[in-house]
Structure 1
Amino acid sequence: MTPGRRSSTFTRLLRHGFTDASAAERLLETAGLGAVRDDPVLLDALGATADPDLALHGLARLLEAQPDPTARRELLDTLTGSKPLRDRLLGVLGASTALADHLARHAGDWQALVTYEPRDLHPGVEEFERGLAEAPDPVSLRVAYRRCLLSIAARDVCGTIDLAETAAELADLATATLRRALALASDAAPDDAALCRLAVIAMGKCGGNELNYVSDVDVIFVGEAVEGADEAKALRAAGRLASHMMRICSETTVEGSIWPVDANLRPEGRNGPLVRTLSSHLAYYQRWAKTWEFQALLKARPVAGDLELGADYVDAVGPLVWQAAERENFVADVQKMRRRVVENIPVAEVERELKLGPGGLRDVEFAVQLLQLVHGRTDASLRSGSTLGALRELAAGGYVGRADATQLADAYRFLRSMEHRIQLYRLRRTHLVPEDEADQRRLGRSLGLRADPVAELNREWKRHAAVVRRLHEKLFYRPLLDAVAQLAPGEVRLSPEAARERLVALGYADPAAALRHLEALASGVTRKAAIQRTLLPVLLGWFADSADPDAGLLNFRKVSDALGKTPWYLRLLRDEGAAAENLARVLSAGRLAPDLLMRAPEAVALLGDGDGGGLEPRLRPHLEQEILAAVGRADDGEQAVAAARGVRRRELFRTAAADIVGSYGTEAQTVEANQGALVDLVGGAVSDLTAATLAGTLRAVVRDGWGDTLPTRFAMIGMGRFGGHELGYGSDADVLFVHEPQDGADEREASDAANRVVSEMRRLLQLPSADPPLLIDADLRPEGKSGPLVRTLKSYEAYYRRWSLVWESQALLRAEPVAGDEELGRRFVELIDPLRYPERGLGDEAVREIRRLKARMESERLPRGADPKLHTKIGPGGLSDVEWTVQLLQLRHGWEVPGLRTTRTRAALRAAREAGLISAEDTATLDEAWVLATRVRNAVMLVRGRAGDTFPSHSRELAAVGRYLGYGPGHAGDMLDAYRRTARRARAVVESLFYQD
């Protein structure tokens, strides 16, 4: 060959889209392909395929597979003279290596593509059945199946049929294949076939007439005994026939497999019988079925076997499907199932997941099915098994805007077309967009993207996925606003009844009130109403995902009424996505955080500070500085405390919001570490805030009574949870008061001044307020309630030297200065260290006394009627169990283990483990129990707005506590079981460590 000839061919191949023109040129020089090289029509046809290199290679293999030169010449002549065959055959060869392999093995099957008649364009089940009828065994059935698949793929890649028609033809071919496989199974076991009636119900995409090229075919089997036959024997026979039919389709032979037949959607899944009677199916669905099972039945369709029995099945279960939306937690169950699907995607694959990822095909299907189940109860036109068909009817009925439906349908068609072409290449079940550039180029060209296939493909894919993400959230909620807003003529409007139905399905207990709130927020033509109509569809979804959607919406209306004229409020929610979501979570999580926000609505701004830094608790020095500055500006003590309370209110809201936002979305995860971090966050933040508030109150009292200087030094010592940095939202502040007269001061005057300070502080802090109370509790002082409120340092020293009991040493383990004179606080700590960390530890008698005191507390302090196993403070495995166990270790070993000299329970527990005083397993058990009990107490305060040591009895409050702890709707029982289980394990450790020597 001359260089000029080679250069000319090479250039022509590049111009026709070949990426490896050198290899293609060498291939065209082989025997039999000269006609292709010299025929511009054939080169143009190759260049029009998705992958010209692949198509040429497949054609070479097909020509080589022909039995003789005459057959090869016939193929080339037919290709040259028949444009339909040329487009079909080369189109398939350029899109699918798997079908090229089939043609190379079965060299005459190309002739199945020759016919080009109107009836050939849209074959149905009967035509496919005729194509499979001659298959006498599973191997030949696979060959016949691939031959039929070849004809579908050829029409698809040539654009003769669209996506919906392709998917329907694939479902029809699956139907014909199931029928032929069942016939082969029946021929192999005629006695079994004579005993029973067996119906095959298609589910999923096959049932919906929207099957993929490669997919499991989901089925359910229904069996009945023929007249006069024993039912048990008949069902066993039906089970054998069903199993054989599944094997025929699923097993791999020399011709590969067809597809797996999956019967796991049946009642009880893989643990249930393969075949049930119709009455058994109904009994299960009426008593035990979960929401997702009714969602799956949307697409149920009889396809094989006894079609009359199959129709009876569909007629019987249909009414149950359309009652599913009335089930408790219906929408939450559907949404939770969707979240679980996303959570199970490997992290490395999320961005490439075409079906299951955010903005993928499943988002479209879930949104459409959810709307069908809610509105299909009263509108039978919505009961289509096809996603695109149902979407058309939803738009026609006014449940979805026509523009939204069009956009969503376009996105769905594009994404499904991508999925089809990805699977067609190797006929493998996958939903991942390929990473290789050559694969992406072929995929883009197969979809008609020719200028820059890779760039265009990724651009279109991302655009459609973004549309799906946006409309997935909008579809279910936007029409609710349209039902109450002032719409332009011709726009879609849900009827009031349909709007109420949708709200009930979302979990709103008072849909009429919810509609009134929506009308107040979104009606009108103002800019404010327009922004609300943009925000509310997403907010409604977040409210619906909570335990109390009604409260979330009501609270949002209150905040919006309070801040509606503030220019930054709606802009913050609109422009900072985290702010809107955080606000929705906070407003629907219980009473405490919304009540705090209602008294300081401007704190909404904390929810949108950049990447969430606005919810980071402030450090104690900063808090104290702000409070002292506010106190300094106040005219008197009452104003000063009011100012300090204002800071406290805002900071409590900040902490509660951070806690709620951090707690959200933790189901299906290992959350122990997250829960522990949130407990530490709340305990540290509330303790610091309490200390700063007390410091500010002390400053106000001293200033009003004595100017700048008291006649005595004065300090407050935090005790209990306060000293341990473990305060909850509803905790009292346990303190000791200590003073020391200034040099030269009269001792009586100093004592009177110290007592007046304490009295005035308590009075100011007890003034009526809507804020959570801040109560000072000094009952841990020497002599308890009978002793003086304030003592000098020398008095404490004298008392502890002569009269101190072991319980007081134990209480002092958590003593830490929190406000007042720092030097005096430090000296108090030096005084008590020998008591709380006694040299050589505790004697046996002291240990017995501690055990006796704990037993007495358990028997005397548990509230009457309370369930001990669910009491977070005194119950077995609760806070008291863990803390007394840790404190006994501190008293015994604090003198020799520096790490134990801490006021914090979890830190002391870690130090005990590091010192070998407790095993790692027991440490983890106690820590988990303590964290969980603390979380429950915080949850109760957040949900009810008042403190409590046990779980709420009201179902909605209990569900809200569960949501905070990471349990979805309907799983409150699981939460209680988990608490009992955790506490039981902890109690076993306590029995071993605390009560045994």
Structure 2
Amino acid sequence: MSEPFTSAGRRPSLAGRLARLGFTDAGRAERLLLEAEQDAGAWIGDDLLDALGGTADPDLALHGLLRVLASADERGRGAELRAALRAEPGTRERIAAVLGVSDALGDHLVRHPGHWRVLRDDGAPAEPEAPREPGRPSAGALRAALLEAVGADPAVEEPVASGAGPETLVALRAAYRARLLSLAGRDLIGAADVAEVAAELADLAAAALEAGLAIGRAQVGGHAACRLAVIGMGKCGGRELNYVSDVDVIFVAEAREGADEDAALRTATRLASAMMRACSASTAEGALWEVDAALRPEGKAGPLVRTLASHRAYYERWAKTWEFQALLKARPVAGDAELGARYLEAITPIVWKAAEGESFVQDVQDMRRRVEKDLDRRTGDAERQLKLGPGGLRDVEFAVQLLQLVHGRADDALRGPNTLDALAELSQGGYVGRDDAAALASAYRFLRRVEHLIQLHHLRRTHLVPDDEADLRRLGRALGLRTDPVGEFTALWRRHAREVRRIHEKLFYRPLLRAVARLPGEEARLTPEAARARLEALGYGDPAGALRHIEALTSGVSRRAAIQRTLLPVMLGWFADAPDPDAGLLGFRQVSDALGTTPWYLRLLRDDVSVAERMAWVLGSSRYATDLLLRAPEAVALLGAADGLAPRPHEALRAEMLAAARRHAEGGGPAEEAVAVVRGLRRRELFRVSVADLLGLADVETVGAALTDIAAITIEAALRAAVNKIEMEAREPLPTRVAVVAMGRFGGHELGYGSDSDVMFVHDPCPGADERAAGRAAHAVAEELRRLLALPAPDPPLEIDPNLRPEGRQGPLVRTLASYAAYYRRWSQPWEAQALLRADPVIGDPGLCERFRALIDPIRWPEEGVGDDALRQIRRLKARMESERLPRGVDRRLHIKLGPGGLSDVEWVAQLLQMRHAHDVPALRTTRTLAALEAAAEAGLLDREDAVVLADAWCLATRIRGSLMLVRGRASDLLPTDHHRERTAVSRVLGYPGTGDLLEDYRRHARRARAVVDRVFYGGD
């Protein structure tokens, strides 16, 4: 301040101003200032008061500053400090920031008031006579400073401290804390980010270890007989140390030439112990930190110091999974640099082979689960744990380390010991998604920053978020949160923790890791030589062609190529598990070419292993599904969760498809465009159903019903488009109502992938309309519907077949309802009544559909049943079909539709029972084969065992028929016998171990079914 607080008009406003600046006890702060005012040496100005108010804890900062000023005055240094506080804004900001966060560093400044100089604008060291060092100090500068503090010459290869007594240990601690104070000053004003702070802390710890080793040499006689290297582990090795942490080390030693090895090892052990004591011993300045050597081979039970050969032998024969994970962080930090480098050179190759162990990934995951379980058992505050709790630092570190160990075998860029650097490389290499990596990095920085702030307060080793309001307020304000420091901090911390936990579980337990880990190292690299050998071993028919696909997918430095290099070694094995590996790899390349620039595609495959594995099976099994995916590659997204492959409910799918068609119609688009949009949706749904079928997620009835729904809704949308077009051309509403009657397998809701859609067209003129005009309009609609559906399109054709109509091809394409009634009354044959058993008027005008159903029900389910003459006609027709419709030269026993015990046999039995008994048994009034058989069995019209035999045979034949279409991409009713690959593929898709098993099983089912047919259908009453 330019005036004392007692000046006129100042006193009444002081407490209010202090409260506005953020002092929580403004009254106490005012008293302290007024008391200090009595001593002119403690006079504080406005700028400094504002700086104190901007700190994390203004009350703590004020109290600490007054103590430091008093101590400086006692030593005659107060005037220099006060002058700097007035004239140097940066010095003022750094001193205030440190005192507002760290009570412990305030105590240090009280003991060493001259050390405030390390916080000056020019970065001056603690004592005026010491050399100045602006900016961030290098690791070498820190080493030199701490060695000089203990009286050792930094220029000597193995410096020795000038003394080993308590005063030397005190000097080491004072020098260490001065450097810590300098770093905290830069950290707390944002001049160093959390990664730079952690790296400098690690360098400072390494310097202290070197100084401790120099003190040890002063204590241990004969130390020149041995060479000792100190290997930093954990956060020290990774250059990501905390302000207060144990420093993990491993010692490696060798005898110098001519020295006895056993004696040298004993000397090295004494030297290592002395170094540990030099850092850990308690003094008037406290201790630095514990030096922890428990990560050494055999832990605390093993020798403190080993030779390089002993280390190597242990890791090659006895090391556990967690020890290799720990070695990721290994880095020489002190002692003999050449020996340390040789240690890394010897151990590193062993580390990167560790992930090839059969249970490596499982071991790491199990270890993490045990740590979490033990944490829950030992403490009730796991949720407040920044380090070990859910969503904490360990979640990030374990996920990164596991990914490093698995993928780092093939990618040297992933082998760095630093978590943030490794995470950046994992993202750059495509092993982790950019968004996930950014979220993890942001959360990790935040959590480390909070950890640093918590530890700085008392310079104690802790990872626990405080629950005290004042402590939380200090944390929030230190992070720049001012409106509601406690609430904002808590919300921010919880959000980061939730995001870390989500990504950790996604990455750490990713099944792809296990699959990659099981690959030998060379195969994981996917070198051309490894790829060729693997392709041949896996049974690829054209390894050279497969190699070309692999090269096309993985060449270059793009992110896409990097992710492909991760995926392909695993997927090659999955393709090999499918019936046609070569087709699978080709299809994968084609889909990847189509979607490779789409951000979500490869991320989906990498992050959700089930998608990649399912995709490999589908592409390597089914030409039909592959063609669909190539025409609509974005449908690969459906391969995720199993529930995404469940056929869509009829009403939901109908609403989507009709809405899409309606939008085009209302926008004035042509009918062709509306139908094209609907057919695109049909393509997606066909892919969904085919994949569910291939993966065994949908049974025969589900597949048939889903394919029928897709066809019916597509035809309905096309019908609406046709009606709209005819009405627009005529410029008047359609003079008749139109409906489409599903027939055959379509009407039975049993369509297959290659089935035509059998239909009949019916119309009913509107009241007052001219019948001829109505007929012409209905005919025009039917022809337009057929034209729209027949237009060339990149999807399986949707053929509608109207030949089951009265008089077949000779009869009119469209009839009125009255015409159908007259025809069936006068001319209908038994086979036509039988055909109507599968008629389901489901498309078009609802009222007309119901009237048509009412018209045909008495015909297909006659009250008097089927007479003897009609029964004989039906049996003769069935026999004639068996002899006439089978293709020439075909083994009738292999024809799954018309052969003995095939689809037709079962369906004719069901239909005969319906015609004879449906009038009396309502449950038989169904268009579905399996439902009719079940109803007949329930009514006692068919023996239950016979019904099961027929149903099983029908389901197997339907599955085979569907699988033939899925595998070949072309419809067939004949079991494959000549084409080995097709026969094998169909067998594999159906789950049979061999082609002979499929043939034997089908013949057994067909033989049993034919016996029932002979007895029930041909056996008389």
Q: TM-score, normalised by structure 2?
A: 0.49
Q: TM-score, normalised by structure 1?
A: 0.50
